[in-house]
Structure 1
Amino acid sequence: MKYKKILFIGLGGAGQRHLRVFRSLFKTNSKYYAFRKTKKTPFLNSDFTVNINKDLESEYGLKVFNNIDEAFEIKPDLTVISTPTALHKVPMFKAIDNNSDIFVEKPWAENSKKFGFFKNEIIKRNLNFHISFQRRFNPLILKTKELLENSSIGKILFVNFNIYSDLRQWHKYEDWKSLYAVNKNLGGGVLLTEIHEIDFIYWFFGIPNSLFAIGGNYSPYNLDVEDTVNLILNYDLFSVQLNLCFLHSDTQRNFCITGEKGSISWNDNNNELIYKVNSDSKKVYKNDLTNDDMFFMQAKRFINSWDNKQTINSLNSAEFSLKIVESAKKSMRRNKIETIKNE
């Protein structure tokens, strides 16, 4: 797909990374525009350090708008949305009104209201849609998907995911307490922010029958969002346990899928996947990919080989990952097992 006019909505850390990626893929053959509401994020290098000697407009040839309606008057071919989660919907629907393809940061929004209408419009207008679950493009995650599809470890017995991150270290250029992730009105909370592994669970195993969640503001900080959640997702013959915390100093991201014939274990800290069959066979897969590499890989796929099937898959992952989050929040409020509606 050749995009002539690309409009970026939001140019914080995530938005600037998408800008770097698309700019490098299209070189100088496309025009770049942006709508920035606060302009609080300075020019960031690829390692997210601040570069006071550069500005976004001159470095990337950007035309920046202060009004979102004026921005859409350019009739973009592609709209890339990287605002705080609670601010995704307005530009997404404006993009649809202008028949623009959509590339949006995860999650789709802070809730699933109006998703059905959105999905129908995307399909009816034959637009391309992608939600940025870039971790799906990690070869180790793709290998896990392959092993599961081939029933390489037999019947699944139980699954465990651990995601411990420390958002206090994410953006050294700003006060972490101002991040969308820790502010309810911006769509924060660990469930929405660390939704990647919820997407993995949906992608690997499908939609769970039910779930039970406990969690809340367990850290010593007085936040209006949940920073820690323990989640059990129930399937017909096995369950998945997911532990989430984004205020944990011992950062780690891993999972172990145990089957009757063996296990699949992934550790993001050392980029390693271990596939065991019985006790006498073990294969270790490694790579040295960076997070930026996965962003490049997903952008290349979106540009070069996207089709209606890929759009439907992306719509489904956006929808059901968010439905799992909403059911988890409901379970925490009611202290009850909640079913997942598969509609």
Structure 2
Amino acid sequence: MRALIIGTGSIGTRHVENIRELFPETEFVFLRREAVRDALADACRAEVVANFYETLQPRPDFAVVATPSGLHMDAITPLIEAAIPFYLEKPAVTRQSDVDALRRLLKENKFSGPTFVGCNLRFLESIVRIRDILKEGSLGTVVRTQLTVGQWLPDWRKAQDYRQSYSARSDLGGGVIFDLIHEFDLARWWFGEFEHVTGHSGKFSMLDIDAEDTATILLKKKEGPPLVTINMDYVSRQPVRRYELVGDRATLVWDLGERTLKKIGARETEIIDCGVSGFDMVDSYRTAMRHFIQCVETLQPTCLDVTDGLKTTELALKARLGVGL
């Protein structure tokens, strides 16, 4: 199997390492400006090229796009035209004009190859367990949900000056609304589509960035519950990812830091067993990549293709519009 890698920063490197672990016989070709080699390319014995069309001889079986989100269209366009399946880091794109252009491109090229947008939290067993519990209905009517996520940005990628990261630049897709888009994706995955989006955001901290570092977003469906509040920031000095789903029979509380999922009823609290890897974020990246490559091999659609991923992008775009960005 031959893999084309476009973007080998921190997340691109993670994907390469996961592919090597899962499918050791994979051949790699890296698309890089000026075809610069480094230790990663040497370790993978990767071919390194500067021109996309050089990657087609021989043709790759799939591509991984891990460039800054604001630059995704530059990589996606030739992949679709060449009918190459691709794994696309989240968010899919960061502008409504790109959403519209990507949909046209897919339609015009009648593109049907497997695609996947990298919202890997869907592969975390504890997150899947939440979805199962919602389907079972044991919470009753879920009236509100609060999704909280935050981390001190300078601690996020310790090998890189945070001021030089794409997270610091809104033009590259930085800012918490796009960077922490997992929570928008999970809201859709659990509850369906939302029509009304409001909120507030700003650059409030001492961080030296050109993007919003804090946002509180309220999602409302066209009719009925739940109301969903998403609180996100680059400021929390200790990483936090905590979800609360409040139903009229019971409440679910998921906490990644504590590695717990609790179901709180009127008289008792149940600790829900999510398995050995239930909160293993590293494993969720591997599982997502395995799923994508297996779909490439079997020509089956993935569970989160680019069409679905664009709906999450549009929800985030509504949030940005709602807060005045």
TM over 0.5: yes
Which of 29, 32, 57 pairs up with 1:33? 29
1:324 aligns with 2:308: no
Name the CA distance, whole Å, in 2 between partners of 1:69 and 1:309: 26
Give the aligned partner of residue 115 of structure 2. Answer: 129
Q: Which amino acid aligns with 2:262?
A: I
List runs of 5+ in structure 1 lacking aligned partners: 44-54, 335-343
Aligned with 1:303 (options 293, 298, 320): 293
Q: Classify 1:330/1:63 alpha carbon distance in 2 versus 1 (closer, same or farther; 3 Å).
A: same
Identical columns (%): 22
* Cα displacement (A) at 1:91: 1.1
1:339 aligns with none
CA drift of 1:281 comes to 5.3
Check whether the contact 2:292–2:302 (CA below 8 A) recurs between aligned residues. Answer: no
Q: SS of 1:249's equivalent?
A: coil
Q: State how far apart, in whole Å, the 1-side matches of 2:191 and 2:270 are.
A: 23
- Which range moves more in the overlay, 278-287 or 192-201? 278-287
Alignment of 1:1-343 (within 5 A): 4-28=1-25, 30-37=26-33, 55-112=39-96, 113=98, 114-120=101-107, 124-235=110-221, 236-238=223-225, 239-280=227-268, 282-286=270-274, 287-288=276-277, 289-305=279-295, 310-311=301-302, 313-333=304-324
Cα distance between partner residues in 2 of 1:72 and 1:118: 20
- The structure carrying a bigger strand percent of its residues is 1
| Cα distance between partner residues in 1 of 2:103 and 2:312 | 14
Residue matched to 1:50: none
- In 2, the alpha carbon distance for the partners of 1:273 and 1:311 equals 27
Letter of the 1:6 counterpart: A
Q: Aligned AA for 2:71?
A: L
How many corresponding residue pairs? 317
How far apart, CA to CA, are the structure 1 residues paired with 2:156 and 2:268?
Answer: 41
Name the SS of the counterpart of 2:305 in structure 1: helix
Q: 1:119 to 1:151 in 2, by over 3 A?
A: farther
Shift of 1:285: 2.7
Distance 2:299 2:130 in 1: 25
Comparing 235-244 with 127-136, greater Cα deviation is found at 235-244
Give, in angstroms, the shift of residue 172 of structure 1.
1.8
Q: CA RMSD in A?
A: 2.3
Task: Tell me which amino acid in the other structure corresponds to 1:234.
Answer: K
Amino acid at match of 1:88: H
* Aligned CA distance change for structure 1 residues 301 and 213 (closer, same or farther; 3 Å): same
State the Cα distance separating 1:323 from its structure 2 match.
0.8
Cα pair 1:214 1:230 within 8 Å, conserved: yes
Quick one: which amino acid aligns to residue 79 of structure 2?
A
Q: Please tell me whether the aligned partners of residues 260 and 271 of structure 2 are also in contact (alpha carbons under 8 angstroms).
A: no
The aligned amino acid for 1:96 is: I
User: CA contact under 8 A between 2:262 and 2:269: conserved in structure 1?
Assistant: no
Where does residue 51 of structure 1 map in the other structure? none
- Report the Cα offset of residue 230 of structure 1: 0.6
Per-residue CA deviations over 1:32-64 (Å, capped at 9, x if unaligned) read 100123899x97xxxxxxxxxxx1222111011
Q: 1:338 aligns to what?
A: none
**2:125, 2:315 → 1: CA distance?**
25
Q: Which amino acid in the other structure matches residue 32 of structure 1?
A: F
Distance 1:36 1:193, change over 3 A: same
Give me the whole-angstrom Cα distance separating, in 1, the residues matched to 2:182 and 2:34.
Answer: 27
The Cα shift of 1:283 comes to 3.3
Instruction: Quote how far apart the aligned CAs of 1:202 are.
Output: 0.8
- Secondary structure of the 1:247 match is coil
Cα displacement string for residues 94-122 of structure 1 (whole angstroms, at most 9, x for unaligned residues): 11111110101111012242132244357
Alignment deviations for residues 112-160 of structure 1 (CA, whole Å, 9 cap, x no partner): 42132244357x3320000111111111000001011121201111111
Is the 1:165–1:246 Cα contact (8 Å) retained in structure 2? yes
Residue 305 of structure 2 aligns to which amino acid in structure 1? S
Judged with a 3 Å threshold, the aligned counterparts in structure 2 of structure 1 residues 56 and 312 are, in CA distance, closer, same or farther, namely: closer
Tell me: CA distance 1:155–1:322, structure 2 relative to 1, closer, same or farther (3 Å).
same
Q: TM-score, normalised by structure 2?
A: 0.90
- Say if 1:119 and 1:315, in contact at 8 Å, map to a contact too: no
Distance apart, 1:333 and its partner CA: 1.4
Q: CA deviation at 1:248?
A: 2.1
Distance 1:211 1:246 in 2: 21
Whether contact under 8 Å (2:163, 2:208) holds in the other structure is no
Task: Compute the displacement of 1:276 (Å).
Answer: 2.9
* Kept in 2: contact 1:274–1:285 (CA 8 A): no
Counterpart Cα distance in 2 of 1:312 and 1:134: 11
Structure 2 residues without counterparts, runs of 5 or longer: none
User: Secondary structure of 2:236's partner?
Assistant: strand
